[in-house]
Amino acid sequence: SSEDLKQVEAFLDKHRTMPNMKYFGKAKGKNVFVIHLESFQQFLIDYKVNGKEVTPNLNKFYANKNTLSFDNFFHQVGQGKTSDAETMLETSLFGLPSGSVMTSYGTNNTFEALPALLDQRGYTTASFHGDVGSFWNRDNTYKSWGYKYFFSEDYYQNKTNYSIGYGLKDKIFMDQSIKYIEKLPQPFYAKLITVTNHYPYELDKANQTIEKTTTGDATVDGYVQTAHYLDQSFGEFLDYLKKTGLDKTSMIVAYGDHYGISNNHKKAIADLLHKKEVDSYDLAMFQKVPFMIHFPGLKGGINHTYGGEIDVMPTLLDLMGIKDTHMIQFGHDLLAKDRNQTVAFRNGDFVSPTFSKIGSTIYNAQGEVVTDKLTPEQAKEVKEQENYVDDELSYSDKVVTGDLLRFYKPTGFKKVNPGDFTYNYKRA
């Protein structure tokens, strides 16, 4: 009911942050590229196999003086995997405790999503993906989110060896996306979802241009090869942006959607990290994924704030100079100075620069178990973190399962009519 929405708003109002004026509006009017790096974990940045960099292009991008890179940024997905990442990034709502928001609620719920907000401010919005359009119910969800265009598998030429696993190989996908990108009226918001670096990390011989790791875990050892291939496709795409000058007029955002190596592979993970063994805290830290923002003139560097996917939309809105003081968003601008750095995982665990909770165990910032050693003030701090995490997850769930944005009437926001979209346009 609208009463429930009021409760949610009261909770959100208690935790609102102020935008950082050093960054607010700095990307106003620019095109936006969001590059979804499938299953890409932070540990791959600067990682080497036999002395060879796995991701040289992303490493360079990460360290570029005009790139803001976050090294304590966590994925927060649940069962909805990619779809949870997309939901958090573009609506600042969490995925659900089980299932997928996009699959179960994407078709009929009301959203205040990033594509719609941008559409209403004159951007052309488009999503690109080399898999069938119905995967994760994207074709319907994107209409509810206000995407003007969705270029899925059918819009790409597919020949023998063009696809592997879930869809078009990343280099071919990136390359063929260009002809559509070139037709988008500017400014545009374009999201490109890669897929080759996806479990079980298969790749044709010709594209295997780095050696596998040698943990002996067959499902893990191919990961660096597909990551290397993804990195090359990213490098080629950046070359295209440079060649056309689009790099000058665009903000480029790149992020990893979730882990590629699950916690079922502890021994292999320890091997990869050159450790004897890994504990639950190490595994929590292993959930870091890259989040990078780049545009000319941006004051770059490595930012150590703790955050996650839920925080992307408010961060981007602030950079684009779009006021979001009344929006129903569960994240907070990563550049805000007064933000709460407690990062919720979907199961209620959390990490933060002070304390982390995994299962019923509390860890300090050094990763030591301190469950029974907390001072009363520390115990109080942890309790507050726990409450905050429980509240934000359950309020977000209420918004989704109760379709509470039906009752939401912000000034200046027009509700999306999914019927306005067809995604049946001419193939190039």
* Active centre residues (catalytic): 82
Beta carbons within 8 Å of 75's beta carbon, 6+ residues apart: 85, 256, 257, 258, 259, 287, 288, 289, 308, 309
Burial 25-51 (b: 16+ CB within 10 A, else e): ebbeebbbbbbbbbbbbbbbbebebee
* 369 DSSP 8-state letter: B
Which residues have CB under 8 Å from 376's CB, separation 6+? none
Radius of gyration of the chain (CA): 21
Residue 166 touches ligand GP9, criterion: CB under 6 A? yes
Cβ(186)–Cβ(215) below 8 Å: no
Q: With CB under 6 A, what is the number of residues at the site for ligand GP9? A: 8
Q: CB of residue 198 vs ligand GP9: minimum separation in angstroms?
A: 6
Q: Between 113 and 132, how does the x/- string for binding to ligand GP9 read (CB under 6 A)? A: ------------------x-
Which SS3 state, helix, strand or coil, does residue 108 take?
A: coil
Q: Return the number of the residue (253 or 327) whose C-beta is nearest Mn ion.
A: 253
Site string for ligand GP9, 175-214 (x = CB under 6 A): ------------------x-x--x----------------
- Locate 401 and state its tokens: 């399962």
Q: 35 to 94, contacts with Mn ion by CB under 5 A?
A: 81-82
Minimum distance from CB of 224 to Mn ion (Å)? 17
Q: Is 258 annotated as a binding residue?
A: yes
| Two structure tokens written together for 340 | 């709460």
Binding mask of the shown chain, residues 254 to 283, with x at each position contacting Mn ion by CB under 5 A:
---x--------------------------
Rounded (10°) angle between helices 170-181 and 223-244: 20
- 377 is annotated as contributing to ligand binding: no
Q: Could you say which residues in the range 79-118 bind ligand GP9, by CB under 6 A?
A: 81-82
Query: Any binding-site annotation on 112?
Result: no
Nearer to Mn ion, 162 or 166 (CB): 166
- Provide the token pair at 50: 């036999």
Q: How far is the CB of 428 from Mn ion (least distance, A)?
A: 26
Site residues (CB under 6 A) for ligand GP9?
81-82, 131, 135, 166, 193, 195, 198
Site residues (CB under 5 A) for Mn ion?
81-82, 257
